[in-house]
Structure 1
Amino acid sequence: MGVIKDHPELAVFLCLGAGYLVGKLRVGPITLGGICGTLIVSLLLGAWTKVQVDGDVKTVFFAIFIFALGYMAGPQFFANLNRKSLRFFALCGIELVCVVGIAYGLAKGFDLDVGTASGILAGAATESAVVGTATEAIGKLDGLTAEQITTYQGHVATAYTVCYLFGLVTIVIYTSQLMPMMLRINLRDASRELWERMRGGSGGLEADEREALPGMVGRTFLVTQADGRTVRDLESSLGNRITVEAVKRGSQVLTPPPPDFELTLSDLVLAVGRRANIIEAGRIIGPETPAVPGLDTPLATTQVSLTDTSVSGKSLDGLQKEHPEFATSGVYVTEVLRGDQMLPANPDTVVQRGDVLTLVGARSGLGRLVAKIGSVVKNDATDFIYLGAGIAVGSLIGQIVVKLGDVPLSLGTGGGCLISGLLFGWFRSRSQTFGAFPPQAATTLKDMGLAVFIACTGLVSGPQAWPLLKEYGALLPVAGVAMVLVPATLSLVIGRRFLRIEPPLLIGAIAGQQCSTPAITSVTQVAQSSVPMLGYTITYALSNFLLPLTGPLLVGILGA
């Protein structure tokens, strides 16, 4: 115990390792998750060892976490600020009003201190970021001694832990099991039917899956039907949907052949294009042959961010017709990425500014085309200049204090870094030629920042945990369940009867307004479809921004 107390860094990483191990424990469809596991372990270890961790460590890691969270959500958050998403925004409004109102009511009705009320809000809303913003706001309250601040901050962590456990179980069971029964639907069938209406096809691929029949292919054909036709004529007859990349005649290989090159019997032709068009090309050229040594040509692949405003709102087919370089240079779109969502690269897929297209074709043709429609994506290494500037700007925003009557309101470092993360992430998405923050790096820093912050909070709060549980032991579980059921039920009724949101999207959106990843995971497992994710992403992005701000709001109101 003495070693741990003398070396707080050992205690922090011990909490991380043991906490994530505890978080893997599964009861039916429910797992605690690494963050909740870390908090439980750190509270127990803190109560036992009374280890002291410098408060600045918490602040630094929380700033990293909240900025990365905002950075990743920024593009999607601003993309969803449109009229079509207004009905989903109403669900987030219901969530915010309910959780703040219930937490305030409980504080007044049961004479709860500001820390316990904030912890109930954070835990029942299953939003870990509120722990940080509320804890920071308590530290800035006027008229509190250092001992009171430490006690109230400890109450935040303890109340959060208990309410989170009950809130998590409630939202998972309510969304995945009870809501489909209340709506009188089979979630699996309803999701499949909705997807067929929206897309006319099956759901997307899982992370470890690949298409058995890729859309982009290259094939070699023996010329029997196209004798006497030029390369230009052959490509034009197929609407310039295929490209003749190479022709082998005897021992001579032309890569690429001139447009006026005339094909003759027994030539071997390498054609590249979409599978359906290549099959049609085979009928015009001749029988397909096995791969021919020497008759292959490398095709370059590049990711391009659409920065030209004129391309926004156009289909891929329209984009290719507007830029003949697609056909003349043999360049094809194989993937469309919008934020972290993969869209089908179909001719009727509509693209927006900031979308990332994966282009495949000859290197020279790619270079000419990229210059006209966008910029090559640079995302190979983290741009620490951009990252550092973003967190610094967020810290400055957090220092601004606005008085609402007699109530001083401040976003704090957490709220400020969340806003700067949203703005910096959105600004980066407009061109993606600067400010690189690779998804794996962003996810690692986000998870690491929150885990270390939670571990530090739990270690410091451990000694205050047991007295709080003895005083409010029965209230906390009831509050955790009630603060999930009330906004979720209101959202279910209003979303279906008045907003007319389709049931699979509505259930996903309710999981998103609660920022509950375990809930949407359980819902998609029951649905055997990713359709509920379409509703989840909209409310999740907005709630991820708004819920952390409720911490300073509640603290400011109660503290006044």
Structure 2
Amino acid sequence: MFTGIDFVQFFRDNAALAVFLTVAVGFWIGKFRYKSFSLGTVTSVLLVGVAVGQMKIEIPEPAKTLFFLMFLFAVGYAVGPQFFRGLRKDGLPQVGFAVVLCLLCLGSVWLCSWVMGYDAAQAAGLMAGSQTMSAVLGVATDTMHEMPNAADLKYDIMPVVYAVTYIYGTAGSAWLLGTLGPRLLGGVDKVKAAARELESKMGEDMSAQPGFNPAVREITFRAFRADNEWFDPGRTVADFEREMQRQGKRLFVERLRQRGRICEVTPRTMLFRGDEIVVSGRREFVIEEEEWIGEEVVDNDLVNFRVETLAVVVGGRRRRKETTRMPIRDLLKADFMHGVMIRSITRAGVRVPVLGNGRLDTGDRLELVGLRQDVERAAGRLGFSDPETPKSSMTFAGLGIVLGGLIFGWVLVTRIGSIPLSLTVSGGVLIAGLICGWLRARRPDFGGLPEPAVWFMNNVGLNVFIAIVGISTGPTFIRGLQEMGWSVLLVGIVATSIPLISGIFIGKYLFRFNDALTLGCCSGARTTTAALGAVEETLGSNVPAMGYTITYAVGNTLLIIWGVVIVLLVG
């Protein structure tokens, strides 16, 4: 049986287990929510790490850096396509807005640090917490190690400031943009009207049209006997599908039983009265067809065929440009989309509204549903299929991390006096991730990391890094909090609020964005998904997500780099 001393010594001798314990308990606590408030996984892991760190456990330095670099590469890889997509002409306004808001974030943190007399470590903690960019902790630490006065800096104070200011950085941002933001723009009703106006300009909601099928609406395949006299004296499959489109229903004939024999169909296949046909489409439309086509039949042999659900990434060298710039409404009518349903569209990890005049972007991830030959044909025209696989190209990821750190952290270094100036190894790995993510969207044969692998590198990489930070600083955390005082909470509120409130008015009056789009752009530039969710809940619309993806890619990059800049400014 363990005594208290034996238990502590066990974890001191097995530091890796202390890290796993911290991550496990932190993820568990992070799931709890009171109304709209939640600590979140990252903050929970840090606080649990502080508690575990009271056992004075020493963890070797390379472990923290290893997981942090893995996280940074995954961040860049995930947003790379949208980052470079924003550099096109139509994306530049959102890129410009994101840059302005990120500069405001940097300026507010620097101003608060100057007023309060913070040193580089305290300022970096304020940047990481108030702007909810945990990666700043690692980037800033790398930069401080290069400073002439590195030995005099209080590294342990950085996670203290981060933990105290992060809570309002998350919850406060959601309240500012979800509750206060619409009022600053003229009221919730006015912003809701702006969202409806943008929807109207972008065309009808294709989620309510044949051919686009959200996950909550099941695509179905049903068999009917063609009893309608319309089928006399014989109609082609193409005639039938055109008639369905004329009635406002996008349905397809998938199989046919004719004269007792099951046949595969083509657009030229003839249909006669009395044939049994399998029709695919959205459930509500297919159910209605019993009144028009004829009686539904139960025929297990006829409907027993394989339907594919295929993940497709938009891009690739052979991708035709017209497929990405074509309005969704027209895309669904294209010949190569015959028999294919779109279940979902995800952009930079966020579900985006699919409106009639909306367009696909390079790197978008679609779920296509239909017969294998149909979805594979559509995949070849839209981009490339990206089926789930347990394999990852670690050569691709490993070389990306090494070359990014080598080039930007060592080769491209300049000096201001005695201070070396570079993006550091951390910043270089982030840039490498952006480039690799973009290359993957352009060339599907170039490396590749499946979504589960990216999720693991992103979430586990960050949280293991945060766990080690918490454990390492645990013994001095309470003393640091007493030294800083709770005034740091008020400073964090100011540093969080200034950029967001300013951004709302800048988006409205300077960039002249739609009000609903402005709130989405603010959420993206500050990389706060919680705020986007709060905005969408308040407005009852997912239109703000249209302003989230490009600004998120830019904000994710700049706010991490600000970890270098704030240390140089204050230090």
Could you say which TM-score interval applies, normalised by the shorter chain?
Answer: 0.7 to 0.9
> What letter is aligned with 1:231?
T
Matched, 1:93 2:99: yes
Q: Distance in 1 between matches of 2:208 and 2:44?
A: 32
Q: Distance in 1 between matches of 2:361 and 2:32?
A: 42
Alignment of 1:318-337 (within 5 A): 324=335, 331-335=339-343, 337=345
Equivalent in the alignment of 1:495: 507
Which range is displaced more, 522-531 or 66-75?
522-531
- Please give the TM-score of this superposition, normalised by the length of structure 1: 0.84
Kept after mapping to 1: 8 A contact 2:439/2:446: no
Q: Distance in 2 between matches of 1:121 and 1:390?
A: 27
The structural deviation recorded for 1:351 is: 3.9
> Does the C-alpha gap of structure 1 residues 376 and 24 become closer, same or farther in structure 2, counting only changes over 3 Å?
closer
Matched, 1:157 2:167: no
Equivalent in the alignment of 1:201: 205
The structural deviation recorded for 1:448 is: 0.8
Equivalent in the alignment of 1:449: 461
Kept after mapping to 2: 8 A contact 1:337/1:357: yes
Equivalent in the alignment of 2:257: 248
- Please give the TM-score of this superposition, normalised by the length of structure 2: 0.83
Equivalent in the alignment of 1:536: 548
Equivalent in the alignment of 1:30: 37
Kept after mapping to 1: 8 A contact 2:214/2:343: no
Q: Distance in 2 between matches of 1:203 and 1:414?
A: 41
Equivalent in the alignment of 1:182: 184
Matched, 1:384 2:394: yes
> Does the C-alpha gap of structure 1 residues 315 and 288 become closer, same or farther in structure 2, counting only changes over 3 Å?
farther
Alignment of 1:540-559 (within 5 A): 540-559=552-571
The structural deviation recorded for 1:56 is: 0.6
Equivalent in the alignment of 2:5: none
> Does the C-alpha gap of structure 1 residues 386 and 496 become closer, same or farther in structure 2, counting only changes over 3 Å?
same
Q: Distance in 1 between matches of 2:105 and 2:520?
A: 19
Out of 77, 80, 84, the residue aligned to residue 74 of structure 1 is 80
> What letter is aligned with 1:375?
F
Q: Distance in 2 between matches of 1:219 and 1:343?
A: 33
Equivalent in the alignment of 2:125: 119
Out of 212, 218, 221, the residue aligned to residue 225 of structure 2 is 221
Q: Distance in 1 between matches of 2:329 and 2:544?
A: 29
Alignment of 1:294-443 (within 5 A): 294-296=301-303, 298-301=305-308, 302-306=310-314, 307=316, 308-311=319-322, 312-315=324-327, 324=335, 331-335=339-343, 337=345, 339=347, 340-341=349-350, 350-356=359-365, 358-364=367-373, 374-381=383-390, 382-400=392-410, 401-403=412-414, 405-406=416-417, 407-443=419-455
Equivalent in the alignment of 1:479: 491
> What letter is aligned with 1:112?
Y
- Deviation string, structure 1 residues 249-270 (Cα, Å, up to 9, x no partner): 4433333489465x55433333
Kept after mapping to 1: 8 A contact 2:194/2:514: no
> Does the C-alpha gap of structure 1 residues 362 and 346 become closer, same or farther in structure 2, counting only changes over 3 Å?
farther
Which range is displaced more, 458-467 or 60-69?
458-467
Q: Distance in 2 between matches of 1:388 and 1:280?
A: 54
Q: Percent identity?
A: 27
Q: Distance in 2 between matches of 1:17 and 1:372?
A: 43
Equivalent in the alignment of 2:475: 463
Kept after mapping to 1: 8 A contact 2:290/2:296: no
Kept after mapping to 2: 8 A contact 1:231/1:244: no
> What letter is aligned with 1:402?
V
Which range is displaced more, 358-367 or 108-117?
358-367
Q: Distance in 2 between matches of 1:63 and 1:419?
A: 11
The structural deviation recorded for 1:547 is: 0.5
Kept after mapping to 1: 8 A contact 2:215/2:344: no
SS in structure 1 at match of 2:155 = helix
Equivalent in the alignment of 1:40: 47
SS in structure 1 at match of 2:150 = coil
Q: Distance in 1 between matches of 2:481 and 2:23?
A: 24
SS in structure 2 at match of 1:254 = strand
Equivalent in the alignment of 2:276: 268
- Deviation string, structure 1 residues 228-284 (Cα, Å, up to 9, x no partner): 3253674586499765544434433333489465x5543333345678997999898
The structural deviation recorded for 1:201 is: 3.3
> Does the C-alpha gap of structure 1 residues 487 and 228 become closer, same or farther in structure 2, counting only changes over 3 Å?
same
Matched, 1:142 2:142: no
The structural deviation recorded for 1:55 is: 0.9
SS in structure 2 at match of 1:375 = strand
Q: Aligned-residue CA RMSD in angstroms?
A: 3.6
Kept after mapping to 1: 8 A contact 2:217/2:283: no
The structural deviation recorded for 1:472 is: 2.6
Q: Distance in 1 between matches of 2:522 and 2:143?
A: 28
> Does the C-alpha gap of structure 1 residues 325 and 74 become closer, same or farther in structure 2, counting only changes over 3 Å?
closer
The structural deviation recorded for 1:486 is: 1.5
Q: Distance in 2 between matches of 1:413 and 1:191?
A: 44
Stretches of structure 2 that go unaligned for 5 or more consecutive residues are 1-7
Which range is displaced more, 471-480 or 86-95?
86-95
> Does the C-alpha gap of structure 1 residues 471 and 58 become closer, same or farther in structure 2, counting only changes over 3 Å?
same
Q: Distance in 1 between matches of 2:525 and 2:255?
A: 54
- Deviation string, structure 1 residues 337-386 (Cα, Å, up to 9, x no partner): 35345567888664455555555555456666655664333442333232
> Does the C-alpha gap of structure 1 residues 462 and 259 become closer, same or farther in structure 2, counting only changes over 3 Å?
closer
> Does the C-alpha gap of structure 1 residues 204 and 449 become closer, same or farther in structure 2, counting only changes over 3 Å?
farther
Matched, 1:51 2:57: yes
Question: How many residues matched?
Answer: 545
> Does the C-alpha gap of structure 1 residues 272 and 536 become closer, same or farther in structure 2, counting only changes over 3 Å?
closer
Kept after mapping to 2: 8 A contact 1:166/1:481: yes
- Deviation string, structure 1 residues 311-336 (Cα, Å, up to 9, x no partner): 332246756777x5666xxx434346
The structural deviation recorded for 1:454 is: 0.8
SS in structure 2 at match of 1:295 = helix
Kept after mapping to 2: 8 A contact 1:378/1:434: no
Matched, 1:63 2:69: yes
The structural deviation recorded for 1:104 is: 3.4
Equivalent in the alignment of 2:22: 15
